[in-house]
Amino acid sequence: MKLASEIVVRPARNVRGSVQLPGDKSISHRYAMLASIAEGPSRIENYSTGADCASTLGCVRTLGVVWERKDGNVIEVAGRGPALAAPTGALDCGNSGSTMRMLSGMVSAQEFASEMIGDESLSRRPMQRVIQPLTQMGARIDSQDGKPPLCIAGGKLKAIDYVMPVASAQVKSCLLFAGLLADGETRVEESVRTRDHGEVALRAFGAKVDRKSKGGGSEVRIRGGQRLRGIEARVPGDLSSAAFFLCAAALFPGSQLTLPSLLMNPTRARLLDVLMQMGLRISVTQLDEVHGELVGSLQVEGAALKGTTLVGADSAALIDEIPVLAAIAPLTEQGIEVRDAKELRVKESDRIAAVAANLRRMGAEVEEREDGLKIPGGQTLHGAEIDSFSDHRIAMAFAVAALRAEGETLIRGAEAAAISYPAFFETLEAVVER
């Protein structure tokens, strides 16, 4: 689907309806990667429609994996087992940090060299966080001062015992995937608990993974040499994409939304607690567990919206949702303060600077800090020309804020939404009342 590069969002009166979210991006990446090195076929339903997950599929095809896309976003993957094929060209990760970081672990353990490249935004993002531990495992990786492109020599890896200095689920998955293909037992420790889809997906594909809570974080162990077997799975709806609709509903007292079959993984669902504390009424029905991932259906009703402060582990748990929470912050009663979120500076854009710049264009007062933002509540937003900074979450966050602005908002670079959610703007329009 080709999205227009400029989209006008008009103010709305209410939000009402039902939204079926595309498959979760984090889970789609991991299922595609693990299905590639599993034995036998996998069938993945409701695979993410975003360009990022297509980048992962493109890379595994370059590594000799045969897959087919069927109607209804079903991907059928013919697993090759642990040995991939020498790539026919560079592995193009596009805009996707997840693809580069997680796949680097798998290709480091292969008998051939790989080159991993990305677009302009990805080429600015830090990769030292995977290069350093993979090098400790025996990988030989050249980079541009810790940034892409990566040239990975490939070869036998040895297990690692690693305490992660940065809270990153991508790094954790990278090391667990590398550990699966390495000699010995790999142990990864994190001081803040990050999303656990890597661990859950490895188990779904038949690997034994041990996990223990440790302080506020966790310790995960995996033994190398285990074989994976293909699975049939349905990817639950993406909770980070649902965040835009939840925040849109939160802006209108009296709004009503239904979100069926949504991912409810506890390492992702902190957003729901925070929005409930802020005043949104949320009830969950039909809670179910599929391949270790919790799935539920949400009923949501808007009411008056209070403010909040996000710090420490909350900022890490909500890292992808902070842009939209910050974009609606001026419209809350007490405002929102975000601290301990300096990772936002090295996402697809500098999301702290992007949010501050766009909110100011809409006439809001914002205090920008190195590791976060302080945004007073009780403000009025004015329709303005805003910039996505080529970042999908910034484009979508400001489409939501624009629903309660005075006057129309023009979003430049709106096509960035296709990175995670190509149907976002039309889906939003379908639930908006004017």
- Residue ranges that bind ligand S3P, judged by CB under 6 A: 26, 98, 168-170, 194-195, 319-320, 343
- Of 318, 357, 354, 358, nearest to 338 by C-alpha is 318
- Of 352, 373, 206, 370, nearest to 292 by C-alpha is 206
CB of 208 to ligand S3P, least distance (A): 21
- Which pair of tokens denotes residue 158? 């040895």
C-beta of 170 vs 358, nearer to ligand S3P: 170
CB of 405 to ligand S3P, least distance (A): 27
C-beta of 146 vs 155, nearer to ligand S3P: 146
Question: Which residues partner with 213 through β-bridges?
Answer: 218
C-beta of 93 vs 402, nearer to ligand S3P: 93
Distance (Å) of CA 120 to CA 1, 9, 14, 365, 392: 22, 28, 38, 31, 14
C-beta of 391 vs 415, nearer to ligand S3P: 391
Sign of CA dihedral 65, 66, 69, 74: negative
C-alpha–C-alpha distance, residues 421 and 418, integer Å: 5
C-alpha–C-alpha distance, residues 232 and 57, integer Å: 17
* Burial status of residue 55 (CB atoms within 10 A of its CB: 0-12, 13-18, 19 or more): buried
CB of 320 to ligand S3P, least distance (A): 5
> Is there a contact between 250 and 9 (Cβ–Cβ < 8 Å)?
no
CB of 170 to ligand S3P, least distance (A): 4
CB of 26 to ligand S3P, least distance (A): 3
Within 8 A by CB and 6+ apart from 432, the residues are 12, 14, 15, 248, 403
C-beta of 238 vs 415, nearer to ligand S3P: 238
Cα angle 415-241-282, degrees, rounded to a multiple of 5:
145
Q: How many residues does the chain have?
A: 434
- Of 20, 110, 96, 25, nearest to 58 by C-alpha is 96
C-alpha–C-alpha distance, residues 142 and 87, integer Å: 17
CB of 232 to ligand S3P, least distance (A): 22
The yes-or-no answer on residue 320 being catalytic is yes
- Which pair of tokens denotes residue 379? 């403000």
CB of 343 to ligand S3P, least distance (A): 6
Among residues 92, 238, 314, 320, which one is catalytic? 320
C-beta of 147 vs 360, nearer to ligand S3P: 147
Question: Which residues partner with 77 through β-bridges?
Answer: 42, 67
C-beta of 395 vs 431, nearer to ligand S3P: 395
> Is there a contact between 251 and 400 (Cβ–Cβ < 8 Å)?
yes
- Which pair of tokens denotes residue 129? 């966080």
CB of 18 to ligand S3P, least distance (A): 25
Phi, psi (rounded to 5 degrees) for 259: -125, 95
C-beta of 26 vs 261, nearer to ligand S3P: 26
Cα 202–chain centre separation: 18
Longest dimension (CA), the chain: 61
Amino acid at 263: L
- Which pair of tokens denotes residue 418? 């296709």
Would you please indicate which residues are annotated as catalytic (active-site) residues?
A: 320
